Amino acid sequence: MSSEELRADVRLLNLVNFGADGALLYAEYEGRTKLRVSCDLAGPAFVRPARLSPLQADTLLLAIELVAASCPRLRVPP
């Protein structure tokens, strides 16, 4: 895996990753050789389902489609 591929995967991870029980994971590079990963427990914030307006829901669906289009591993077969 090249450095650019790894950096692209880290950017995608930061965009969509949620760990179990509402753990939010965030990764960032420190210099050229060190990757720092932090975890924030956000369980209480996710106890109730999100309530989105129709515009927010449409925007979220569009963002998912755009991300999936740029990442072959996220594409769902028809």
- Residue-wise pLDDT for 20-73, tens only, equals 566 777 788 888 788 888 877 776 666 677 788 899 889 888 888 877 777 666
Give the angle subtended at the CA of 69 by the CAs of 20 and 17, to the nearest 5°: 15
Q: How far, in Å, are 10, 17, 53 from residue 37 at the CA level?
A: 10, 12, 32
- Answer whether 0.85 is exceeded by the pTM: no
